[in-house]
Amino acid sequence: MDAACFLEAADRHCQQQGVKLTSLRRQVLELVLGYDGVVKAYQVLADLQRQRGIAAPPTVYRALDFLVASGLLHKVDALNGYIVCRHVGCSHEGLILVCSQCGRVQELDATPMLALLREQAGGEGFSIAPQNLLLTGHCQGCQA
């Protein structure tokens, strides 16, 4: 899905959720869409400051938090950054594959895998919190 189609889908998704994809939130989402892999908040802040002039860090963090809560971005805690969730409107937990050589990021739906892990952990009396899993390795291109 190209960026324009993704933004249209994001607008529809937010409307269905009863929340607003304000111009600032949309602009932050567009900036994150411009990156191929994981993007850090300070990169988004710098880009926003170049485009708008003045932008404060809390403004960017609030917009990023909204986009994560709305299911449009995933926060990748292990890399202290964010990626676009290409599954707009699909409530899931992501399996985030990061190539340690070129930095390429791919996201898969981890819900079925985590259900198995939850079942096993539950058998031990342990409850797994909702999360996205990160795996590092080498993408197909770097393996060649």
Candidates 3.40.30.10, 1.20.1250.20, 2.130.10.10, 1.10.10.10; correct CATH number of 3-84? 1.10.10.10
Residue 25 has pLDDT above 90, yes or no: yes
Comparing C-alpha atoms, which of 2, 6, 20 is closest to residue 73?
Answer: 6
pLDDT for position 32: 95
In angstroms, rounded to a whole number, what is the distance separating the alpha carbons of residues 97 and 70?
Answer: 22
In angstroms, rounded to a whole number, what is the distance separating the alpha carbons of residues 96 and 131?
Answer: 11
Over the stretch 51-91, which tens digit does the pLDDT of each residue have?
988 889 999 999 999 999 998 998 888 888 999 888 787 77
- Annotated domain spans of the chain: 3-84, 94-143
pLDDT tier, 102 (very low <50, low <70, confident <90, very high otherwise) = confident
In angstroms, rounded to a whole number, what is the distance separating the alpha carbons of residues 39 and 54?
Answer: 20
pLDDT for position 11: 94
In angstroms, rounded to a whole number, what is the distance separating the alpha carbons of residues 29 and 10?
Answer: 9
Q: Whole-model pTM?
A: 0.83
Residue 98 has pLDDT above 80, yes or no: yes
Comparing C-alpha atoms, which of 67, 133, 140 is closest to residue 101?
Answer: 140
**Span 94-143 CATH architecture:** 2-Layer Sandwich (3.30)
